[in-house]
Amino acid sequence: MATQSTNVMPTTSATAGNLGAELKPPGEAAAQVKPCCVCKDEKAARDECMLFSNSSDPQEECQSLVGKYKSCMAGYGFKI
């Protein structure tokens, strides 16, 4: 038995803004991301500063990087 393929033509034209629109799941699932997958550069800079600091108080020295990481995570809805 032969299967028949149905081609569905989009109702809108493809633009740079909507090329990936069909790839994203609908609703709230599209907005959810894992904390391990965001703010990687900020996390790496924070960790490097804390681990390799020569200061007697690395927490004080790296406070700005920790703040950048926290604000980045907050931008994705994570509260640290």
Show binding-site residues: 36-37
Annotated binding site for Cu cation: 36-37
- For residue 46, count other CB atoms closer than 10 A to its CB: 21
> Could you give the CA distance from residue 66 to residue 61 in angstroms, rounded to a whole number?
10
Quote the DSSP letter at residue 30: G
Residue 48 backbone phi and psi in degrees, to 5: -60, -40
